[in-house]
Amino acid sequence: MLEALFSTLQSFFLHPEFLVPTVWVAFGCVLAWFLLSAKRHHAIDKKDLKMLWKTHKQFNNCSAKTFEPIMRGKTIVGYTCECGYQHLQERPLVNFGA
């Protein structure tokens, strides 16, 4: 088991052409993790919310005049449009805050 791992590692270093994609994959994982974790902690402010709602109105030909923010604790997590449309920002997998 450990020997197999070691020989895999060794082959990476003996063959740089394997090493390069590995580094890219690792880099991609870190980047994905970074983006996901940034998103997880991203709270929408009122300005963003209004912009999101306006985008929805354009895309859905919605003529609603108002919307209600959806709150989770003290954080805005989305909105409910007058037309019934709901937008929820990605919810955290584990809720550390509340």
Q: Kindly list the residues in this chain that would bind Zn ion in the complex (CB under 5 A).
A: 62, 64, 81, 83, 85
Q: How far is the CB of 25 from Zn ion (least distance, A)?
A: 41
Q: Helices then strands (H, E): number in the chain?
A: 3, 3
Nearer to Zn ion, 69 or 92 (CB): 69
Q: How far is the CB of 7 from Zn ion (least distance, A)?
A: 59
What is the rounded radius of gyration, in angstroms, for the C-alpha atoms of the chain?
22
Q: How far is the CB of 86 from Zn ion (least distance, A)?
A: 9
Coil, strand or helix: which one is 86? strand
